[in-house]
Amino acid sequence: MDRTRAGARIALLALLWGSTFLWIEVALEALAPVQVTFARCLLGSVTLLAVCLGSGRRLPRGRQVWGSVVLAAFFCNALPFALFSFGQQSIDSGIAGVLNATTPLWSVLMGAVTGSERGPRPSRVAGLLIGFAGVVLISAPWQATGAGGRGALAVVGAACSYAVGFLIMGRLVGRGIPTISLSAAQLLAATALTAPTLVAGGLAPVDITPGQLVAVAVLGVVATGVTFHLTYRNIAAEGATSTATVGYLLPVVSVALGVVVLHEDFGVRIALGMAVVLAGVALTRLPPRAPAPAPAAPPAPDADPTGSPRPNARPPQPPCPDHRRPNAGRPKPGPAPEERDVRP
């Protein structure tokens, strides 16, 4: 039952997270990259704050906790959101989702460096490498040049930043703080971090259509607020590295939405790459093998399997004396009795 719930949460998270790149692409038609970044942080934080306060929860307290929250907000929200908005100015939304699928690889590598991922299973390592090969096949970096190359590099940087943020979030969930409180606090901190960036081209007047406004609202409320809380829930349930493997499902969602909604290119190479990615995901989700039971000790020769002595078992014998020593086994003579004087 737990694995079924975890699988459903992973699928929902992949669907919502994978649609993010579509909403960013539409929002960039009316807003500058810094405006898109700030808007999604603001709308996401307002959504989660309303849920947090409405459920009777409080924001976390303590300087140390908030220090970790701000650090996670920078690596998991402010920095990658800005890099995605910048990168998608020159690459398609489907390709952005594919490149973001490198997050699990960076997560495992960083987890091994920091010690949070010790001895990853061979199936997981194989799945990560196969999935990464599928990502390379879809993105075709040998074809990226100019602005497209810089955009792809920005999205890969965002994926790497996500991996760092997941590790910090993984340590936050172990402190007994409700995930809704943590997610609301982190997006609130991300809003404060991204607000100063509006000075760099984000204060210009905005001419936005109703459709683009809806895209911005969905991006902030659903693809950022709801998705981010689900991410925290999954980290608390399965760990940061397992949550990062959701990134390998994003190409399927992002490419499909890009083709259907935005009429982006789709060919045999992309289809083959998506199949390879799904194979890698399947390997990373395999449960660990149960340890083999230890072999039972053989019964003693003079006892039956139930442990009872056999009827014809010989009684224990005293130890044999060592014939190599002449006095072995003999009692050691005591002192000679004192001789009496018998003289008259």
pLDDT value of position 219:
94
Q: Structure pTM?
A: 0.72
pLDDT value of position 312:
55
Burial class of residue 195, CB neighbours in 10 A (0-12, 13-18, 19+): middle
The widest CA-to-CA distance across the chain, in whole angstroms, is 144
pLDDT value of position 71:
95
DSSP class per residue in 1-60: -HHHHHHHHHHHHHHHHHHHHHHHHHHTTTS-HHHHHHHHHHHHHHHHHHHHHHTT----
Cα separation of 9 and 12, whole Å?
Answer: 5
From residue 133, give the alpha-carbon distance in Å to each of 40, 254, 327.
Answer: 31, 18, 80
pLDDT value of position 343:
46
pLDDT value of position 249:
74
DSSP three-state, residue 311: coil
Output the tens digit of pLDDT for each of the chain's 344 residues.
Answer: 566 666 677 778 778 888 898 999 999 999 999 999 999 999 999 999 999 999 999 999 889 999 999 999 999 999 999 999 999 988 888 888 878 877 877 877 777 777 665 556 788 778 878 888 887 887 777 766 656 678 888 998 998 998 898 888 888 887 788 989 999 999 999 999 999 999 987 788 888 999 999 999 999 999 999 988 888 887 777 776 666 667 667 777 888 888 888 888 777 887 888 788 778 877 876 766 666 566 666 655 555 555 555 555 555 566 555 555 555 555 555 555 544 444 44
pLDDT value of position 235:
78
Q: Which of 44, 56, 313, 292 is nearest to 185 (CA)?
A: 44
Cα separation of 69 and 172, whole Å?
Answer: 8
pLDDT value of position 195:
94
- The residues pairing with 309 across neighbouring beta strands, listed in sequence order, are 303
